[in-house]
C-alpha cells in the first residue's frame, strides 16, 4: 500500500470513528491530509470502495488489539492501557454498532467482536476469578459490551473513566455470581 493511500485510510478511519459516515467527505479528508482530492480518486474509485478499505483496516486493527489482549494478564492496568491506545478502533466499532442497518457494517462488527471478544472474555473471567460457564460469560459479556458502546465517546474514553467502568462492571459481575 502506498503512503498516500495509507494516509487516506488512516485519516478516513479517524473521521469515521468520531463522526460516522456523514463525516466522510472527500474534501474534508483531503484538507486534513494536505493534498488534493483528485489523489483520492487515484487510489479509490469512489466512497463505497473507500469504505470497504476502512472496514478491512478495522478488522486488521481488531486483530492487533486482540493479540495485545491475549498477552495481557490483568484488566487494570494492562487491558485499560490497550483500550486507551486503541481508542480510535473502539470508536470505529461504536459507529458500526450504531449503524448496523448497513449490512457491511453489521458483518464487520460481528467479525470484529468475535476477534476482540474472545480474548477479552478469557481475560475478564481470569481477572475477576469468575466461575461461570462459557455461555454465561458470553451472555454477561454481550450485555457489558452493549452498555460499554452506549457510554463511550471521544471525551470519556481515557484511563480514569475506563478504570471506573471496569470497577463497576466487576461489582456487577460479582453480584451476578
Summarised one tens digit per residue, pLDDT across range 2-39 is 799 999 999 999 999 999 999 999 999 999 999 999 99
How many domains, the chain? Answer: 1
Nearest to 145 by CA among 131, 124, 163: 124
Domain residues for 153? 3-176
pLDDT at 5: 94
Q: Hey, what's the cell of 72?
A: 495481557
Between 127 and 101, residue with greater pLDDT:
101
How is residue 152 annotated by DSSP? -
**Where do we find the cell 481477572?**
127
**Nearest alpha-carbon partner for 148 in 162, 134, 127:** 162
pLDDT in the model for residue 87: 98
Asked whether residue 131 carries a pLDDT value surpassing 80, the answer given is no
Would the pTM count as exceeding 0.85?
yes
CATH of the domain at 96: 1.10.357.10
Distance CA 98, CA 149 (A): 9
The answer to whether 56 touches 142, Cβ cutoff 8 Å, is no
Q: What is the DSSP string of 68-115?
A: HHHH---IIIIIHHHHHHTHHHHHHHHHHHHTTTSHHHHHHHHHHHHH
Q: What is the DSSP letter of 51?
A: H
| 17 grid coordinates | 470513528
Q: pLDDT at residue 88 above 90? A: yes
pLDDT score of 177 = 63
d(CA 104, CA 100): 8
Region 64-73: what's the mean pLDDT? 94
Amino acid at each position: 500500500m502506498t503512503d498516500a493511500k495509507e494516509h487516506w485510510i488512516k485519516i478516513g478511519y479517524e473521521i469515521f470513528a468520531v463522526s460516522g459516515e456523514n463525516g466522510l467527505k472527500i474534501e474534508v479528508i483531503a484538507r486534513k491530509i494536505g493534498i488534493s482530492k483528485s489523489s483520492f480518486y487515484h487510489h479509490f474509485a469512489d466512497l463505497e470502495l473507500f469504505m470497504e478499505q476502512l472496514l478491512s483496516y478495522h478488522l486488521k486493527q481488531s486483530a492487533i488489539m486482540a493479540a495485545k489482549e491475549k498477552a495481557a494478564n490483568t484488566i487494570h492496568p494492562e487491558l485499560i492501557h490497550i483500550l486507551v491506545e486503541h481508542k480510535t478502533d473502539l470508536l470505529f466499532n461504536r459507529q458500526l454498532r450504531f449503524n448496523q442497518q448497513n449490512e457491511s457494517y453489521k458483518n464487520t462488527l460481528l467479525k470484529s467482536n468475535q476477534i476482540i471478544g474472545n480474548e477479552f472474555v478469557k481475560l475478564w473471567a481470569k481477572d475477576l476469578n469468575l466461575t461461570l460457564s462459557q455461555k454465561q460469560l458470553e451472555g454477561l459479556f454481550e450485555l457489558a459490551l452493549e452498555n460499554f458502546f452506549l457510554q463511550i465517546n471521544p471525551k470519556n474514553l481515557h484511563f480514569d473513566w475506563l478504570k471506573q467502568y471496569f470497577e463497576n462492571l466487576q461489582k456487577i459481575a460479582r453480584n451476578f455470581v
